[in-house]
Structure 1
Amino acid sequence: MHDRESRTGLVQPEPPNFEIGWKRSKEFKLDEPKGYVIAERAREEAQVLSDKGEVEERMMTELFRVLKLMEMDLAMVKAAVKEETLGERLEQAKAHCRQAVHVALSFWKAHICREFE
């Protein structure tokens, strides 16, 4: 029991932490990924082409989408713990790389076609 007259000695305890979290089994840094510079350069070059009117907006959107997917794939592959999970994520990353190649080829074709007009 406590003295109702003296409230200075009372300290309310911290509420219990009911957050249920999971423990990472593999640490990974939140620094820029290794391919970040290349992806950023591709974005800058695409923006230059877009500003000149040489590339359609939908192609820009597709390029940014594919680059973002590749960045996420890199993080997912780095975070994979199980061999099976790693294999699945690598397959998905390969598919996104193929998409990126197709987008890059469409940029190249659009740029070449404009030069010969």
Structure 2
Amino acid sequence: MSVDQTRDIAGEDEKAAARAVTTVAASAASYPVAPGHRLNVRSGPGTGYSVVRVLPEGASVRINCQTPGTWVSGPYGTSNIWDNIGSGQYVSDAYIRTGSDGYVAPRC
């Protein structure tokens, strides 16, 4: 293998690493809560779970993963998708502006 070929391989590795970093950054996107709403954060993916805290108006969340749960109607439609925003912390996707009616993160 020539020195030039080694450089090409190294360059490809750097490009792959840059793509991986970009993918991780995209998956860690922050999504805003619907304007004018305080949002209950629940211990599980449904309205039957206890409220563990309340997000204030103007809050944004990072979605770790998503899972189906109780159907909820909110400013962004009716959805049974629940967003995991931390350990034992779920919010209804109907109140989060993700730009999609479907899943935007891996399933929990």
Please give the range of the TM-score, normalised by the shorter of the 2 chains.
under 0.3
Which one has the bigger strand percentage? 2
Which one has the bigger helix percentage? 1
TM-score by length of 2: 0.25
| Larger of the two Rg values belongs to structure | 1
